[in-house]
């Protein structure tokens, strides 16, 4: 169990960032003399994907950015420009969590990206609710060992943690905007879900501190938004157990034991006693999708099914019509050699098998602070736009967990709890605080854009606009 204090961890993170930045500066001086950024962009451009029987009006790119020359760590990215007028749209980064899960496999292929995968695992369809309707979207497989990201140093794969993930992600962004200079200074937002409840605020903090130290805005961070996000181990545990009990998923006896044995445990590094009672709870829940308790689970032998509660921090496996087996389709598609070639995956660094989540990364995770609420306090004062959202049918990091964590921030309410609407129907509920907005998405599970894609598009559109979620004005009969 990690016992170092978070403040000391932040100091270590910031030190690591600046060591890496010094290396980065040296690298870019050399790289700029060798490769013209626009030429590298063209090398990264994806012209067509296997199984794509439709045309698109936007450009997209994929490839690697080396974040540490010494060890050979490189992060894989997929960047998809906005459908219309990308020069006028903000840049949005999406991160999935795990830790150890692919933002390509989840975020792009079944949530907010335009290219979604049919059940045959070979053909694609266009997602009409892709977030590139309103923004340029960037996906990163982070950290190394996840998806197509790699390291030449094998020990890197078993030494990942929150600190290095934030440091490497900052290096990635600084180098990526050198490759895509047209996005330098562009309004930039970070979004993500689940364990990215750590990644997103930690990376935001790293960017803010880097900008303050260098007295320039190489990355023009304007805000961040996280969904069903791991935020504070104690409050998240309280919320998980309360949600499962209130929904009738577990017994009174198990509910009491969960609170007794797990409330003060780490989500990532829990005790054996906590793990044992979580297994009991898992059996009581039965064969349901913990990430979406009212929809059917996947009935294939997908590796992602029923890993909870032990693996409750992993993103779920929950599209035109709802399909609970989308994770299985991604596994087939991204293992096709022709797909890997189209995405510029280097055969030299290709994993033996592409997987949605890496057990090696997950099971060897080093540092995971018990809370990121202190980062919220710091960044709220920096003036960033900060939103949290929750699908209300998720039993992994449920709406109750996020409400407990927000309550712990002790922020004054500026707009009380009320319903928000989409096309005349209640889309969910929202409350606004001084420095933070909270949005519940009605009927959504852990992966909100998967279960409620239309509502998720309304959410990101409103977030980027910097206004409140739309309310429904009743029209009186004349």
pLDDT digits (tens, 9 = 90+) for 380-391: 999 999 999 999
Question: 179: number of CA atoms within 13 Å, CB side?
Answer: 22
Tokens of 197: 């409840």
Output the pLDDT for position 17: 52
Of 299 and 195, which is predicted with more confidence? 195
The CA-atom distances, in angstroms, between 219 and each of 79, 143, 144, 272 are 16, 20, 22, 43
Bridging pattern class, strands 73-80 and 136-141: antiparallel
| Separation of alpha carbons 437 and 434, rounded Å | 8
Output the pLDDT for position 473: 60
- Stretch 357-367: mean pLDDT, rounded? 94
Predicted TM-score (pTM) of this structure: 0.89
| Separation of alpha carbons 462 and 441, rounded Å | 13
Question: 230: number of CA atoms within 13 Å, CB side?
Answer: 25
Of 276 and 320, which is predicted with more confidence? 276
Tokens of 203: 């990376």
- Per-residue pLDDT band at 319 (split at 50, 70, 90): very low
Residue whose structure tokens are 């407990």: 404
pLDDT digits (tens, 9 = 90+) for 410-429: 999 999 999 999 999 999 99
pLDDT digits (tens, 9 = 90+) for 241-252: 999 999 999 999
Of 18 and 82, which is predicted with more confidence? 82
| Separation of alpha carbons 192 and 219, rounded Å | 18
Query: Which residues have C-beta within 8 Å of that of residue 142, sequence separation ≥ 6?
Result: 75, 95, 103, 149, 165, 168, 169, 172, 199
Q: Which domains, and CATH codes, for the chain? A: 42-231+367-465 (3.40.50.1820)
- Per-residue pLDDT band at 33 (split at 50, 70, 90): very low
Of 21 and 352, which is predicted with more confidence? 352
Is the predicted pLDDT of residue 10 greater than 60, yes or no?
Answer: no
| Separation of alpha carbons 174 and 16, rounded Å | 15
| Separation of alpha carbons 450 and 443, rounded Å | 11
| Separation of alpha carbons 470 and 478, rounded Å | 24
Query: Is 472 strand, coil or helix?
Result: coil
Closest by CA position to 198, among listed 175, 221, 164:
164
Query: Which residues have C-beta within 8 Å of that of residue 44, sequence separation ≥ 6?
Result: 61, 62, 63, 79, 179, 344
Bridging pattern class, strands 91-95 and 425-433: unpaired
Write out the catalytic residue numbers: 194, 394, 446
| DSSP-derived secondary structure letter, 367 | -
| Separation of alpha carbons 297 and 147, rounded Å | 24
Low-confidence winner among 263-272, 286-295, 367-376, 445-454 (lowest mean pLDDT): 263-272
- Stretch 77-90: mean pLDDT, rounded? 98
* Residue 222: its H or E element: strand 221-227
Tokens of 189: 């937002």
- Stretch 190-195: mean pLDDT, rounded? 97
């Amino acid at each position: 169990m990690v016992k170092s204090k978070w403040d000391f961890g932040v100091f270590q993170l910031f030190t690591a960032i600046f060591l890496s930045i010094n290396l980065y500066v040296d690298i870019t001086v050399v790289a700029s003399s060798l490769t013209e950024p626009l030429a590298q962009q063209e090398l990264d451009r994806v012209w067509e994907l296997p199984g794509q029987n439709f045309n698109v009006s936007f450009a997209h790119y994929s490839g690697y950015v080396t974040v540490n020359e010494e060890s050979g760590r490189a992060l894989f990215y997929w960047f998809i420009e906005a459908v219309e007028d990308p020069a006028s749209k903000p840049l949005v980064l999406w991160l999935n969590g795990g830790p150890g899960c692919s933002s390509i496999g989840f975020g792009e292929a079944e949530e907010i990206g335009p290219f979604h995968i049919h059940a045959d695992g070979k053909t694609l369809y266009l997602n009409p609710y892709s977030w590139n309707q309103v923004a340029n979207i960037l996906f990163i497989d982070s950290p190394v060992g996840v998806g197509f990201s790699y390291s030449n140093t094998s020990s890197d794969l078993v030494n990942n943690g929150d600190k290095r993930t934030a440091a490497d992600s900052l290096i990635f962004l600084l180098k990526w905007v050198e490759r895509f200079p047209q996005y330098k200074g562009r309004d930039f937002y970070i979004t993500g879900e689940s364990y990215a409840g750590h990644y997103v605020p930690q990376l935001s903090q790293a960017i803010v501190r880097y900008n303050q130290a260098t007295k320039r805005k190489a990355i023009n961070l304007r805000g961040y938004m996280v969904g069903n996000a791991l935020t504070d181990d104690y409050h998240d545990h309280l919320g998980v157990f309360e949600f499962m009990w209130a929904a009738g998923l577990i017994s009174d006896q198990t509910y009491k034991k969960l609170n007794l044995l797990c409330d003060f445990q780490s989500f990532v590094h829990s005790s054996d006693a906590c793990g044992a009672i979580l297994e009991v709870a898992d059996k009581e829940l039965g064969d349901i999708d913990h990430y979406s308790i009212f929809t059917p689970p996947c009935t294939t032998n997908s590796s992602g099914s029923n890993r909870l509660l032990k693996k409750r921090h992993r993103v779920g496996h929950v599209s035109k019509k709802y399909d609970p087996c989308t994770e299985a389709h991604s596994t087939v598609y991204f293992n096709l050699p022709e797909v890997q070639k189209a995405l510029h995956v280097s055969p030299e660094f290709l994993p033996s098998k592409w997987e949605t989540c890496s057990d090696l990364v997950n099971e060897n995770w080093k540092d995971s602070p018990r809370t990121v609420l202190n980062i919220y306090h710091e960044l709220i004062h920096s003036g960033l736009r900060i939103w949290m959202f929750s699908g209300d049918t998720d039993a992994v990091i449920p709406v109750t967990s996020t409400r407990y964590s927000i309550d712990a921030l002790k922020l004054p309410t500026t707009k009380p709890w009320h319903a928000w609407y989409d096309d005349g129907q209640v889309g969910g509920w929202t409350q606004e605080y001084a420095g933070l907005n909270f949005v519940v998405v009605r009927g959504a599970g852990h992966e909100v854009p998967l279960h409620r894609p239309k509502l998720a598009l309304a959410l990101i559109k409103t977030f980027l606009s910097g206004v409140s979620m739309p309310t429904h004005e009743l029209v009186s009969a004349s």
